[in-house]
Amino acid sequence: MVNVVVSPEIEAVCPGFVGACVEAEVVNTPFSEELWQEIDAFSVRYRAELTTESLKQLPAIEATRRVYRACGKDPSRYRPASEALIRRMLQGKELYRVNTLVDVINLASIKFGYSIGGFDAAKFVGDRLTLGIGRAGEPYEGIGRGTLNIEGLPVYRDAEGGVGTPTSDHERTKITLSTTHLAVLINGYDGCEEQVRANAVFLIDRLQKYCGAVGASYAIYR
């Protein structure tokens, strides 16, 4: 398992943080029709239940936004990924269809409201990830975003540098169709271990269903 460490600087702004690291051997595909039926069902449900304002009060999203502000980042300018996904649904826009692994992770994020990082674990440098806070001028290339200013964002770093934030993961460790060793990090800034565990179990179930996951397991870290 990937060893994940939470730094004192994160503990200072979110003493109740709890995360889950899911790992599995998987087979990726370009598209799954059945998966997208699940995703589309959430679009219908959320458009009936939420607005772009009430969305911000969902516990997992509200907590992530609160930590952004505590770290010095504007959560309305650098939106947490879960909020951005659901907000797009509420605006009547289709979610991007990337590949089945990424789409499964997005489904899990939409269902629980946690920002979830998905990575090709074979691309990590070293066997440890540390969750800290981005520094001024720290180089970071967000997936599909180019250079991203991560100063004040929570960030996971491997031995080479940043690999993931709740706003965008890094190009260097992104999931592709050739990814076989998947690592997923669920960020529970609301401190609700029960929900974080439920999210991990849900994710493993869908990875087994849609991506032929074997050896799937998860570990809690804090």
pLDDT 10s digits, 151-181: 999 999 999 999 999 999 999 999 999 999 9
In tens, the pLDDT along 34-77 reads 999 999 999 999 999 999 999 999 999 999 999 999 999 999 99
At 202 the pLDDT is 98
End-to-end CA distance of the chain: 15
pLDDT of 149 higher than 90: yes
Confidence of residue 1 (pLDDT cuts 50, 70, 90): confident
Give CA–CA dist 222/47, Å, rounded.
34
Task: Give the three-class secondary structure for 118.
Answer: strand
Could you tell me which residues come within 8 angstroms of residue 86 by beta carbon, excluding any fewer than 6 positions away?
46, 50, 55, 61, 110, 113
* Packing angle, helices 193-211 and 100-112, rounded to 10: 150
Instruction: Tell me what percent of the residues of the chain surpass a pLDDT of 70.
Output: 100
Which pTM value belongs to this model?
0.97
Tell me the pLDDT tens digit for each residue of 26-46: 999 999 999 999 999 999 999
Residue (of 176, 159, 203, 144) closest to 20 by Cα position: 203
Residues in a beta bridge with 116: 186
Distance CA 7, CA 131 (A): 6
Sign of CA dihedral 60, 3, 16, 142: negative
The packing angle between helices 33-49 and 81-90, to 10°, is 80
Considering only CA atoms, which of 198, 185, 145 is closest in space to residue 5? 185
| Domains of the chain (ranges, CATH numbers) | 3-221 (3.50.40.10)
- Cβ count within 10 A of residue 209: 14
180 phi, psi to nearest 5 deg: -120, -25
Give the SS3 label for residue 150: coil
